[in-house]
A and B are shown apart, each in its own frame.
Chain A
Amino acid sequence: MKRYSAFAIAREAARYHEGWERAWTSPAPKKKYDVVIVGAGGHGLSTAYYLGKNFGITNVAIIEKGWLGGGNTGRNTTIIRSNYLQDPSAAIYEKARSLYETMSQDLNYNVMFSPRGVMMLAQTQAEIRGYERTAHANALQGVKTEFISPAKVKELVPIINIDGPRYPVLGALWQERAGTARHDAVAWGYARACSAMGMDIIQKCEVTGVRQEGGNVKGVSTTKGEIDCDKMAIVVAGNSGSLAEMGGFRLPMESVALQALVSEPIKPCMDVVVMANTVHGYMSQSDKGEMVIGGGTDGFNNYTQRGSFHHVEETVRALVETFPIVSRLKMLRQWGGIVDVTGDRSPIISKTPLGNTFINAGWGTGGFKSIPGSGWAMAELVAKGEPGPLAAEFGMDRFTEGRFIDESVAAGVAH
Chain B
Amino acid sequence: MLILECPYCGVMADETDLHGDGEAHLKRFGPGSSDDDFEGYLFMRKNPKGVHFERWRHASGCGKFFHAARNTMTLEVYGTYSAQTLEPPKAIIDAVKAKHPEWEGYK
Contact = CB atoms under 8 A, between A and B. Distances in A.
Contact of B44 (A251, A299, A302): A251
Nearest to B35: A400
B74 interface: yes
B19 interface: yes
B66 to A, nearest CB: 14
Given A301-B72, A303-B72, A400-B35, A254 B42 contact: no
Interface in B20-48: 20, 22, 35-36, 38-40, 42-45, 47-48
Interface residues of A, number: 24
B49 interface: yes
Contacts of B47: 241, 251, 253-255, 301, 340
Contacts of A309: 1
B61 to A, nearest CB: 16
A400 B45 CA distance: 14
Contacts of A251: 44, 47
A342 B39 CA distance: 13
A250 B70 CA distance: 21
A342 B42 CA distance: 11
A389 B49 CA distance: 34
Given A304-B74, A308-B15, A299 B1 contact: no
Contacts of B49: 239, 241-242, 303
Nearest to B43: A252
Contacts of B98: none
A301 to B, nearest CB: 5
A304 B45 contact: no
B72 to A, nearest CB: 5
Interface in A224-281: 239, 241-242, 250-255
Interface in A394-415: 399-400
Contacts of B35: 400
Contact of B54 (A298, A300, A310): A300
Contact of A301 (B15, B16, B40, B54): B54
Contacts of B40: 250
Interface string B37-79: 0111011110111001010000000000000001011110000
Interface residues of B, number: 26
Contact of B48 (A241, A250, A340, A342): A241
B95 interface: no
B2 interface: yes
A27 interface: no
B27 to A, nearest CB: 14
Given A301-B54, A302-B75, A303-B72, A343 B1 contact: no
Contacts of A308: 1-2, 15
Pick from B22, B72, B73, B75 the residue with the most CB of A within 10 Å: B72
A304 B75 contact: yes
A239 B74 CA distance: 16
B93 to A, nearest CB: 19
The list of the 3 closest CB pairs from A to B, nearest first, reads A252-B43, A300-B20, A241-B47
23 contacts: A239-B49, A241-B48, A241-B49, A252-B43, A252-B44, A254-B22, A254-B45, A254-B47, A255-B72, A298-B15, A299-B20, A300-B2, A300-B70, A301-B52, A301-B54, A301-B72, A304-B74, A308-B2, A309-B1, A310-B16, A399-B42, A400-B35, A400-B39
Interface of A: 239, 241-242, 250-255, 298-304, 308-310, 340, 342-343, 399-400
